[in-house]
Amino acid sequence: MSEAQELFDKNLQPACPSQLTAPALHKLLGHAPLKQYLYGGKGVGSQGDGTAQLLAKSDDCRQKAMAIIERDLGMSCLELTLRPARRVRKAVIPAAGFGTRLFPATKAVKKELFPVVDSSGRAKPAILAIVEEAISAGIEEVAILVQSQDRELFEEIFCTPPRVENFNKLPIESQKYSEYLMDIGHRITFLSQDVQDGFGHAVYCARDWVGDEPFLLLLGDHLCVSDSDTPCSRQLLDAYESTGQSVVGLKETAQDEVHRFGCATGVWATGEGLLALTEFAEKPDLEYAREHLRVEGLAENTFLTVFGQYVLSPKIFGYLEENVRHNIRERGEFQLTSCLDRQRKEEGLYGYVVKGRRFDIGSPDAYLQSLIEFRNKTIPDKQGTR
């Protein structure tokens, strides 16, 4: 900062000395008693005697510097603490559910392993498409929560190459993809969740692996497709980095489907699609949604529901732990939504309307529709047609 100020004084001040000399600013920057408490400082704005930014060495140094400035120079001070955003490196994907709505197919195949076909025509288990979504967003490590008895099934996909005789039968392109799968496997950790006690409990089971880091949370039975060149997960990560607070992905949803999803409302914030959340409701009925969950600017019969992707601070585990320790359940299970609402009240929470589509594979009709739409996904043209 001091170097930038010196360069300004040397190269730009002579161009307009009547306005840019800034004697009050330089009296501040040159005040000897301040120097031991500051890394540096510079003028702000037009370089007139208006405002300066000073970078203190610590909170204590800041307080001492402010006292000196107000006492010796008669200038007022404002405190500003800038904290670096923590980059999100990890993703968590719960995949330990039984898949009740897809019974009896789930007796034979875990729903997260149901096949889907991507836009290139490649058939793959759904969990692979979800892991690829996370990696495409820049995630470095992925934890998949599974039942211990199913771990081998998932490891077969990511950690076990085909037998040599089968590998040699594959086309060259598929052989390369097999090697790519093994590379992905090095990024994956399998965590056990042998008791299914709700979505909140599944997230809680990842607390030790996540540690004291923010993390991306993806549902194991939801696929997504971005409507832009930026993956859906990356959109949320960008929102987190710009706000420094936890972010929940949202999507516009017609009123007749609101009762199927978590629903949120709030006040539009700076930044396209960004909402400062004021309330969460888990699968509300339409009457409640109309009375409490309306969002300004949306059509009267449209609400915002959870997209199925989240970027959360590690503090969420503290709220979940309290529920688990005190056996606080909703509809017989530990839920995430109530903990998100508590986080909203205590820390602030943003919602982001994702530019993309969500495909639920958790029920027969939804799975059938998702197979078709996920395969035929296209990027909208400028008019928004598909």
Q: How far is CA 214 from the centre of its chain?
A: 8
What residues does CATH 3.90.550.10 cover in the chain? 90-375
Kindly report, residue by residue over 79-133, the tens digit of the pLDDT: 887 765 678 999 999 999 888 999 999 999 999 999 999 988 999 999 999 999 9
φ, ψ of residue 240 in degrees (nearest 5):
-65, -45
Kindly report, residue by residue over 363-375, the tens digit of the pLDDT: 899 899 889 989 8
Nearest CA among 197, 194, 191, 211 for reference residue 317: 211
And the tokens for 236? 């949320």
DSSP for residue 87: P
DSSP for residue 287: H
Buried/exposed 64-98: b ≥16 CB within 10 Å, e otherwise: bbbeebeeeeeeebeeeeeeeeeebebbbbbbbbe
Kindly report, residue by residue over 150-161, the tens digit of the pLDDT: 999 999 999 999
**CA distances from residue 373 to 106, 224, 261, 302, 314 in whole angstroms, order as listed:** 22, 10, 20, 22, 34
Nearest CA among 352, 347, 337 for reference residue 279: 337
CATH class of 90-375: alpha beta
User: Mind listing the pLDDT tens digit of every residue in the chain (386 residues)?
Assistant: 788 888 888 887 787 777 777 888 888 888 999 999 999 888 876 555 678 899 998 889 999 999 999 999 999 999 887 765 678 999 999 999 888 999 999 999 999 999 999 988 999 999 999 999 999 999 999 999 999 999 999 999 999 999 999 999 999 999 999 999 999 999 999 999 988 888 999 999 999 999 999 999 999 999 999 999 999 999 999 999 989 899 999 999 999 999 988 899 999 997 789 999 999 888 899 999 999 999 999 998 999 999 999 999 999 999 999 999 999 888 788 889 889 989 999 989 999 999 999 998 988 998 998 899 898 874 333 333 33
- Write the Ramachandran bin of 156: left for phi over 0, alpha for psi from -120 to 50, otherwise beta: alpha
